Structure formats: C-alpha cells, structure tokens
Amino acid sequence: MATDEKDPVARIDLDARGIDLSEEAVWATLVRAGFSRTNQVIERFEALYPMGRRLIEPRALAHVVQASTLSEGERAGLPEPIRDAEYLGFCVTTAGRAIDERTRALCDDGALIDSMILDAVAMTGLSWIGDRIGREVFAWAAEQGLAASRSFSPGAGASHWGLEYQRLLFDHLPERPLGVELTDHFLMKPSKSVSFVIGIGSDLKQATHPFSCEECDRLDCAYRHIPDAGRARSDERPRARPTLGSRGESRA
C-alpha cells in the first residue's frame, strides 16, 4: 500500500490509565501551587485524593513527521530553534475528560480547595505522561542518530509561539486525538491537556530534558523552567503501573 507523504514517520502511543500516583507527588504539585499542609487542606486531600486516582486517565500521542511536508510558511512560523529540523514530533497529552469535568464542577460549586486538589492530581499525571512521551521522542531521535530539541507549546509564552499555532499542531495529529478537541479560540477540551512539538535533526542542539529551558538564553523569562537534576531519575517519578502502547512506528 502506498504511503502518503504526510503520514507520520513514527507514531508513539502511551496509555497510563490506572496510574498509581503517589501522595507525595501530588503534594509536591500542591506546594508549588502555594498550598501548605494545614489541617483543612490535609483533611480535604485525604477525601479527594482517592477520587482523583479513580478519575485520572493520562494518555499521550506523538506523530513524528518529515519537516519537508510542511509548507514554507508553516516552517517559517515554527519557533526559531527548530526551523531547520528534519523531523517534527507533534505531541498531545491529556489527563482525561472525567477529572477535568469533576474539577470544573467543584469550582463552579464554590469548593475551591477540593477543585485545586483534583487539579493537582490531574497536573501531576499530566506532567508524568508528558515527560514519558517527550523521552520517547528523544529515544526515537537517538535511534536515527539525530538530536532532539526541547518542547515548544503554542501560547506558552517562552518562545513567542502564538496560540494560533495549535491549528498547525493538530493538523498533524488524528482528528480529536485521544478525545481532545480544539475550540474556535485554539483552546483544548478537556482543558487538562497539553500540546507541544519537538524538533529533530542533525543540526540541532540536543536538549537535556524535553521540558527544560536550559538551552534558551532568555534568562529573564517569567516562564523559565529548568527541572532539578534528580527529577528525571526513574526512582523519583511518581509510582506508576501504566500500560504503555507500542511505538507503532511506520517508517517511510
């Protein structure tokens, strides 16, 4: 069967439904959001944490495509560090619709602490699955003898890559990937979802981490993030029992 030039060179699926996020990992997310372990927060955490674990359904999908399949205008619109990439890894991750809807319902009911606790569960799982899919793209690049850039997300601010580029990213993924929809205003539903692109090529500088700003020289950027050296070690990740789909690679 003939392969369309816009078909992905590689497809990577990760399914971590049933993930066992540790309490400490979720607490770390809450602390970064400004919460302290007061008696009230501890009480609500103990009530909401089991619900969050039941509701969260982290999944991730990446399509690696040849950069040459993009139009000249599309390539010119990419973040400057990856405009000369040979391949682009378009990725979307989600914590699932159920936890997103429950978090919104609690917020609408005025249960803000409960909503934030469930939000922390969702964001912890989202961070975990995002790290995994980013590293899978890094691994694919290494197998080809190529370097991989850090990730760039439309509208994130750090790269001046406008939110409108969500359309470009979603155009290179299946329709409604993982059940994630793009609104007319380029927002994702469910909102507990993240999209990004990673550049791959021989002329790129290898990033140390998919979500690190270490290679960026904008030291005064409010979005600057460099993960702690130990955060990437497997023994410091949240405990998990994910079922990981195969990479499902189909190479042209």
What per-residue confidence (pLDDT) applies to 251?
A: 34
Q: What are the C-alpha distances in Å from 231 to residues 28, 70, 227?
A: 12, 35, 6
CA distances, 21 to each of 68, 93, 184 (Å)? 40, 17, 33
Q: Please give the order of strands across the beta sheet that includes 193-201.
A: 10-15, 59-66, 87-94, 193-201, 147-152
Q: What is residue 82's predicted lDDT score, i.e. its pLDDT?
A: 94
Show Cβ contacts of residue 93 under 8 Å, excluding neighbours closer than 6 positions: 58, 59, 60, 61, 126, 129, 130, 133, 178, 193, 194, 195
**Chain position carrying tokens 């507990």:** 192
Burial zone of 251 (CB within 10 Å; 0-12 exposed, 13-18 middle, 19+ buried): exposed
**C-alpha pair distances (Å), 202 with each of 70, 79, 185:** 18, 17, 35
- For the segment(s) 10-18+58-96+125-236, the CATH number from 3.40.50, 3.40.109, 2.60.40, 1.10.3430 is 3.40.109
In this model, does residue 232 exceed pLDDT 60? no
* Ramachandran angles phi, psi of 136, nearest 5°: -65, -40
- Amino acid identity at 32: R
pLDDT band, residue 244 (cuts 50/70/90): very low
* Whether pLDDT at 231 is above 50: no
The structural domains of the chain, with segments of one domain joined by +, span 10-18+58-96+125-236
Cα–Cα separations (whole angstroms), residue 60 to 1, 63, 117: 27, 10, 22
Average pLDDT value for residue range 102-113: 96
Sign of CA dihedral 13, 171, 137, 17: negative
For residue 219, pLDDT beyond 90: no
User: 39 exposed, middle or buried (CB, 10 Å; 0-12, 13-18, 19+)?
Assistant: exposed
Whether the per-residue pLDDT at 229 is higher than 60: the answer is no
Q: How confident is the model at residue 225 (pLDDT cuts 50, 70, 90)?
A: low
Query: Radius of gyration of the chain from Cα atoms?
Result: 18
Q: Whole-angstrom Cα distance, residue 176 to residue 91?
A: 13
pTM as predicted: 0.84
Is the model more confident about 238 or about 102? 102
Q: What confidence tens digit (pLDDT) does each residue in 35-54 have?
A: 999 999 999 999 999 999 99
